[in-house]
Amino acid sequence: MSSIYPQLPLLNPEVSENSVVYHGDALQVLSSLPDNAYQTAVTSPPYWGLRDYDTPGQIGSEEKVDDYVEKLVLIFRELRRVLHESGTFWLNIGDSYTSGGRTWRAPDKKNPARAMGYRAPTPEGLKPKELVGVPWRLAFALQSDGWYLRSEIIWYKTNPHPESVKDRPTRAHEIIFLLSKNEDYYYDYEAIQEKGVNGDLRNKRTVWPVQSEPLKEAHFATFPKKLIEPCILAGSKPGDYVLDPFFGSGTTGLVAALNGRNFVGIELKSEYIGIAGKRLGKYGYFFRQIDFHME
């Protein structure tokens, strides 16, 4: 299929009518998009072995963590192609522990979405109950594939999900990697300056304390708006296009629209596109949906 989405001129920063969400596979859709078209990308792909989305072809259900990393490298290689030469990529990725031989996960009363009908086997070379190190496995693979790895940002969750563990600290953070297409790239540091202890403005630090935001309709935690707003403000200008290849419930699109940007999303599960449409509609923003089918 030839390129189906030429970059459109901004008509009105207050209206997201130039924005679009593709219903389809991330790799297939990205492969059809034009070169150098999007200023920044912000996304959080499905984490490996942590959630069953009950969708054929879902990412994160691979038997081997290396296969998961390899699949994302291919997707993000296409993402790098469609980014503007001065573009950046903000990647939120979570970690996981080896399953200890369990092949399923029981429902959690506080988080029903954690129930899974499968569990990936312990990766070769690791032992039961070990931290897999997924974020850095992926970061190093992306670095080897040509990305510039510019920063590791710690999302400190001020309201972490409770854990019943007694032999390690409760996890209260995730990682966001800032990657760039080239050595020189657009980054508006002034747009995200923070206040220091004396009230003076300073360069934003790499630890971002942000409360997580559960979304009732989606039955899973979503990107907090405050978490990705700095990514969009630093990585783009009003009128630019923000890309999210794992659009989910649409937080990237919502924050982009609220800040005068257009957005392009890709989402495999139609249910999530419906949720995103309702969320943005409450703020008066809308997008075109395109069902993507490879010939």
Q: Does residue 17 lie in a domain region?
A: no
State the residue for tokens 């092949």.
Answer: 103
Q: Does residue 163 lie in a domain region?
A: yes
Q: Which of 271, 227, 236 has the alpha carbon at shortest distance from 257? A: 236
Would you give the DSSP letter of residue 108? B
Q: In this predicted structure, what is the pLDDT of residue 223?
A: 84
Q: Does residue 277 lie in a domain region?
A: no
Q: How confident is the model at residue 50 (pLDDT cuts 50, 70, 90)?
A: low
Q: Does residue 271 lie in a domain region?
A: no
Q: Does residue 12 lie in a domain region?
A: no
CA-CA distance, 98 to 132, in Å (whole number)? 6
Q: Is 198 exposed, middle or buried (0-12, 13-18, 19+ CB in 10 A)?
A: exposed
**Reported pTM:** 0.86
Cβ(46)–Cβ(25) below 8 Å: no
Question: Taking the CB of residue 2, how many other CB atoms lie within 10 A of it?
Answer: 5
Q: Is the pLDDT of residue 9 over 60?
A: no
Question: What is the share, in percent, of the chain residues with pLDDT greater than 70?
Answer: 80
Question: Taking the CB of residue 86, how many other CB atoms lie within 10 A of it?
Answer: 16
What's the whole-number mean pLDDT along residues 181-206?
96
CA-CA distance, 98 to 231, in Å (whole number)? 31
Q: Is the pLDDT of residue 194 over 90?
A: yes
CA distances for 133 relative to 43, 94, 130, 139, 270, angstroms: 19, 9, 9, 10, 31
Q: Does residue 101 lie in a domain region?
A: yes
pLDDT tens digits for range 101-114: 555 444 445 445 45
CA-CA distance, 246 to 133, in Å (whole number)? 21
> What torsion do the CA atoms of 53, 165, 140, 61 make, to the nearest 10 degrees?
-20
Look up the CATH number of the domain holding residue 66. Answer: 3.40.50.150
Q: How confident is the model at residue 47 (pLDDT cuts 50, 70, 90)?
A: confident
Q: Does residue 113 lie in a domain region?
A: yes
Cα four-point dihedral sign 282, 161, 63, 97? positive
Q: Is the pLDDT of residue 156 over 50?
A: yes
Alpha helices in 196-269 (DSSP H): 225-235, 251-258
What domain count does the chain have? 1
Token pair in block for residue 49: 């072995």
Token pair in block for residue 23: 């219903």
Cα four-point dihedral sign 244, 219, 215, 292? positive
Lowest mean pLDDT among 4-13, 55-64, 160-169, 263-272: 4-13
What's the whole-number mean pLDDT along residues 15-31?
87
The conformational region for residue 230 under phi > 0 = left, psi -120 to 50 = alpha, else beta, is alpha
Q: Does residue 68 lie in a domain region?
A: yes
Which residues span the domain enclosing 156? 38-240
Q: How confident is the model at residue 12 (pLDDT cuts 50, 70, 90)?
A: very low
CA-CA distance, 152 to 178, in Å (whole number)? 7
